[in-house]
Homo-oligomer: A and B are copies of this chain.
Amino acid sequence: MYYVIYRVNHCMLDQVRIVLVNTSHMGNVGGVARAMKNMGINNLYLVDPEGTASDQSAVARASGASDVLQSSVVCQTLDEALEGCSVVIGASARSRHIPWPLCTPRECAKKISQVTEHNNQVALVFGRESRGLTNEELHRCTMHVHIPTNADFSSLNLAAAVQILCYEVRLAWENTLESKEKTPQLDNVWGVDWDYEMATHDDLEHFFVHLESTLVAIKFLDPKTPKQLMTRLRRLYQRTGMDKVEVNVLRGILAAIDKNTLV
């Protein structure tokens, strides 16, 4: 008999729950469900909401994430919703009388990826649309997270705030997957998976020889006063990192020009 043991990569995201306290607009709960599911987070807790997750406005904004709404857990108190959580992070817009450990969304996500390594549960807590979390609620948190905003217009939509934090959590999770074998990033600025092999130095040099002779033939380049023309063209084509097909296309164009040029 064989036991197949495999690592479930979703675990970190499954260890995170989103807790909404006393939400007024069920449309926002729908928006939150969609934002969560987009990032692969599915555990939603509603503390004393002013409506139900099956409200039409919630389902409409969820737009395909109604499974997250349906499986949401409704609680009467914040403590109920936080049961079993080792780390509780409250979203906070204001600075408080009593300073609390405060982190950025990115630091928050890093913290989550650290604590979830050990099978801990984490809650991300969001307050009312109108006035966030009360001081009493904030004091139930391990730490606070503050999303950087324009000081003159700092109040984010609830679903937007959840979106940013879930996005950071997802990036941190993807990062843990990638760093398993940690292949060094070769700062490929164009993004990998190019469709064709890259041109080589000699492909380019042949292209430049051809380009120069064609430019002379069409009388754009005067060999007696070449100035910096070829230098500029070299810089342009070399920095763009051409693939073999692109070089072939350009050489095909040069050949067509040659054929059509008056002698």
Q: Which residues of A contact B (CB under 8 A)?
A: 31, 34-35, 37-40, 61, 63-65, 98-99, 101-103, 106, 143, 147-150, 153-157, 159-160, 163-164, 167, 170-171, 174, 187, 189-191, 193-195, 215, 217-220, 229, 232-233, 236-237, 239-240, 242, 245-246, 249, 252-253, 256-257, 259-262
A190 touches B37 (CB 8 A): no
B148 touches A174 (CB 8 A): yes
Partner pick for A157 among B35, B39, B245, CB 8 A cutoff? B35
B190 touches A187 (CB 8 A): no
Chain B residues closer than 8 Å to A171, beta-carbon distance: 106, 148
Top 4 closest pairs, chain A to chain B, by CB: A102-B191, A240-B240, A220-B256, A40-B150
Q: List 16 A-B contacts (CB under 8 A).
A: A31-B157, A34-B157, A37-B153, A38-B150, A38-B155, A40-B149, A61-B157, A65-B153, A98-B195, A99-B195, A102-B191, A147-B167, A163-B164, A220-B253, A232-B249, A233-B249
Partner pick for A257 among B39, B64, B218, CB 8 A cutoff? B218
Chain B residues closer than 8 Å to A103, beta-carbon distance: 191
Alpha-carbon distance A260/B157, docked complex (angstroms): 52
B239 touches A190 (CB 8 A): yes
Closest to A233 in B: B249
A240 touches B246 (CB 8 A): no
B153 touches A64 (CB 8 A): yes
Chain B residues closer than 8 Å to A167, beta-carbon distance: 147-148, 164
Query: Shortest beta-carbon distance, A241 to chain B, in Å?
Result: 8
Alpha-carbon distance A229/B250, docked complex (angstroms): 10
